[in-house]
Every structure is written in structure tokens, then in C-alpha cells.
């Protein structure tokens, strides 16, 4: 595989924003590898379009390391890694420690181990990027989901550490989105309340995230940055 065709890895790309980004990259002729947790029609569709789809379980260290070995068997270089895999996990009474462990493994340990063990693949590309997907909730904290918020805050810290560690050859940044797109079951009252939290008051859709990702991939002079994508929520 030539350096020009090294793929971009997007974790958790079977639905929503990750799926949209994979589709757009494929539209542009970019080779793509995705990870997914469970089989969906969307995964089969991406395979039909030429993407490599690898099943992965990031809830345990063993699953993360197994994914890394599987990945290395499918490519000899990477253009970028986008750590998109995420879970909006509630902390139910009596199971808080388990929720914290799962969120730590998914949002932090997976990114940490993949970055460590796959940086050699990125170094084979003339341009190389790592993009962590954080969350705007880190800015204020979360009374309802402190474990989720803490694990995303840790991911932002990893962004700074890896940006320093891997410079100058690999740029490392993060995107911290707020509301991008509603779920089908969200009712009108919820939608109205959610939109009112931002100064711009819109549902921007996944394309707003892709534009941010494209900016980080294309700009050669940005590293160690947490890119806020919140429609001006910090103004209200």
C-alpha cells in the first residue's frame, strides 16, 4: 500500500457521526478502516463501499489489544486515527464502579493503547493525525453523569500529552461537540429545551463535525488543541 493511500481509522463508526464521517471520506476517495461493536446494516454498507470493518470490544484491555493486532494485520500504515467510539452510559445505583470502569476503558484506555501501539503506523504517512472526540460537557461538569464527564476530561488531557509526545511528526487534537443531531425518539419539548442551551439554537447535523475534522486533518499548524463545537453554549 502506498503512503498516499494509507487509510484513516475511525472507531465506533457504525452509526451517527462516525458513520457520516466514514461515508464522506469514502466519497472523497480516502481509504477507511472502522471499528464497530455490533453488526448493523450500515457496517455491511461500508464494507460494500470498500471500507475495512473490524469488530472490536473496547470494554476490556484484552479486547483493545486484540483489536490493535487485528488492525496491524490489515494495514501497514495509517493517515489518521479518529477516536470516535463512545457510550452515554448512566450510573445506576450499586453499579457506579462498573460504569466508571467501562467508560474509562472505552474513552481513555482504548485511545491510550491504540495511540501507543499504532504511532509507528502513523509515522509511515507524510501527514499524520490523531483526533480524540471529547464532549462539551467537560467544560462545566455533569451532576447526572460524572463518570462519563470525567472519562472525557481524561481524554482531553491525553490529547495534550500525546500532542507533546508525538510532535512534530504527528498532530494530536480533540473535538468537543455539544448537541449535533437528535435521536428519532426525542420529543418536541426536549428538542426545544436542548436547542435553547446554545446561542445559535440550531441542530447542525453531523456535517458540522466533519467540517471540524477536515479542518484538523488539513491544517498543518494545529496540535494540542481542543476544538469546541457547541454553537455558543458557553455564552449562555
pLDDT > 90: percent of the chain? 92
Sheet with 80-83, side-by-side order of all strands:
52-55, 32-36, 8-10, 80-83, 129-133, 171-177, 226-229
pLDDT score, position 4:
52
Q: What is the pLDDT of residues 172-229, one digit of tens each?
A: 999 999 999 999 889 999 999 999 999 999 999 999 999 999 999 999 999 999 999 9
- Is-contact 22 51, C-beta < 8 A? yes
Which entry of 148, 190, 210, 215 is annotated as an active-site residue? 148
What ranges in 142-205 are assigned the alpha helix state H? 146-166, 188-195
Average pLDDT over the chain reads 96
Catalytic (active site) residue 148: yes
Q: What is the pLDDT of residues 130-166, one digit of tens each?
A: 999 999 999 999 998 999 999 999 999 999 999 999 9
- Is-contact 156 109, C-beta < 8 A? no
Phi, psi (degrees; rounded to nearest 5) at 206: -65, -20
- Written as one string, the DSSP assignment of 24-59 is HHHHTT--EEEEESS--HHHHHHHHTT-EEEE--TT
User: Which residue spans within 79-224 are E strands per DSSP?
Assistant: 80-83, 129-133, 171-177
First-to-last CA distance in the chain?
49
Q: What average pLDDT does range 77-104 have in this prediction?
A: 93
Task: State the pTM of this model.
Answer: 0.96
pLDDT > 70: percent of the chain? 98
pLDDT score, position 190:
94
Reported as a pLDDT band with limits 50, 70 and 90, residue 5 is confident
Q: What average pLDDT does range 41-55 have in this prediction?
A: 98
Nearest to 65 by CA among 31, 17, 112, 2: 112
Residues 111 and 114: their CA atoms lie apart, in Å, by 5
pLDDT score, position 3:
47
Reported as a pLDDT band with limits 50, 70 and 90, residue 2 is very low
Amino acid at each position: 500500500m502506498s503512503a498516499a493511500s494509507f487509510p484513516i481509522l475511525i472507531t465506533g463508526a457504525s452509526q451517527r457521526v462516525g458513520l457520516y464521517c466514514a461515508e464522506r471520506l469514502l466519497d472523497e476517495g480516502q481509504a477507511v478502516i472502522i471499528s464497530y461493536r455490533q453488526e448493523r446494516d450500515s457496517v455491511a454498507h461500508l464494507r460494500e463501499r470498500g471500507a475495512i470493518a473490524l469488530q472490536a470490544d473496547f470494554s476490556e484491555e484484552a479486547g483493545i489489544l486484540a483489536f490493535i493486532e487485528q488492525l496491524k494485520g490489515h494495514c501497514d500504515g495509517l493517515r489518521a486515527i479518529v477516536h470516535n467510539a463512545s457510550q452515554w452510559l448512566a450510573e445506576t445505583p450499586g453499579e457506579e464502579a462498573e460504569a466508571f470502569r467501562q467508560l474509562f476503558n472505552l474513552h481513555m484506555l482504548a485511545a491510550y493503547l491504540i495511540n501507543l501501539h499504532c504511532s509507528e503506523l502513523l509515522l509511515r504517512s507524510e501527514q499524520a493525525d490523531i483526533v480524540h472526540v471529547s464532549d462539551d460537557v467537560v467544560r462545566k461538569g455533569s451532576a447526572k453523569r460524572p463518570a462519563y464527564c470525567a472519562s472525557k476530561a481524561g481524554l482531553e488531557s491525553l490529547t495534550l500529552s500525546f500532542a507533546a509526545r508525538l510532535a512534530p511528526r504527528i498532530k494530536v487534537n480533540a473535538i468537543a461537540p455539544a448537541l449535533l443531531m437528535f435521536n428519532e425518539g426525542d420529543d418536541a419539548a426536549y428538542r426545544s429545551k436542548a436547542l435553547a442551551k446554545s446561542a445559535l439554537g440550531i441542530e447542525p447535523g453531523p456535517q458540522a463535525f466533519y467540517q471540524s475534522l477536515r479542518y484538523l486533518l488539513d491544517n498543518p499548524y494545529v496540535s494540542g488543541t481542543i476544538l469546541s463545537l457547541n454553537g455558543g453554549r458557553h455564552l449562555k
